[in-house]
Amino acid sequence: QSVLTQPPSVSGAPGQGVTISCTGSSSNIGAGYAVHWYQHLPGTAPKLLISGHNNRPSGVPDRFSGSKSGTSASLAITGLQAEDEAHYYCQSFDSGLRLVFGSGTKVTVL
Amino acid sequence: QVQLRESDPGLMKPSETLSLTCTVSGGSINYYHYYWIRQPPGKGLESIGYISYSGSTNYNPSLVSRVTISIDMSKNQISLRLSYVTAADTAVYYCARGFPYSSIDSWGQGTLVTVSS
């Protein structure tokens, strides 16, 4: 059972936008630890998408953005493209300095 | 560009001890935390634990009684040992690197470990 909770799936038509939530607690996100987001395609290693609240590594389109408020965080994808179809995971730390992941969200482009 | 590569233990039998090695190349092993993360078939990512370049460790409470992570600075290698494996330990195992208490910026390609009698 994952420490951080994400919706199992979200979907949208090409060009539309979707938002993925990541809900934690006062022991992790609410304690001030940053939230990071990864894109995971089948058969490949996860790829860092957003570091911290909204820092994109080189090469990540600005269609991806992150935000955080209280004990939750969100990843927004605008202008959905077929290549965005993947699993997305949030990640943070908890008060025991343990690495924790979200349960994962499958994004489907209709 | 740093690269991480996991060894390939392949098929294991229940009760055996899983030993994995991650070799880091193309960059210094210093200053980073090194993680072992796994993904069982059809499930999400699970942190097994991590080790700092200075050797301090932090393990998933659900695995702490069976797991040991170590680092060999002279060989640029991080090792994972997981004892008494069962079918529930079947997963793709990833080695990864990140700045302390921050994001993970580099991942190995992953290695599939299957536990079956």
**Chain A contact set for B108 (CB, 8 A):** 45
Strands A64-69 and A72-77: antiparallel
Listed in order, strand segments (DSSP E) in chain A are 9-12, 18-23, 36-40, 47-50, 64-69, 72-77, 86-93, 99-101, 105-109
- CB-based contact, A34 to chain B, within 8 Å: yes
What distance lies between CA A71 and its chain's CA centroid? Answer: 14
Q: Residue ranges of chain A with pLDDT lower than 50?
A: none
Nearest-neighbour CA in chain B from A91: distance (Å): 8
Q: What is the pLDDT along chain B (117 residues), one digit of tens a residue?
A: 899 999 998 899 999 999 999 999 998 888 999 999 999 999 999 999 999 999 999 999 999 999 999 999 999 999 999 999 999 999 999 999 998 989 999 999 999 999 999
Output phi, psi for B89, to 5 deg: -90, 0
| Alpha-carbon span B79 to B73, nearest angstrom | 11
**Chain A contact set for B5 (CB, 8 A):** none
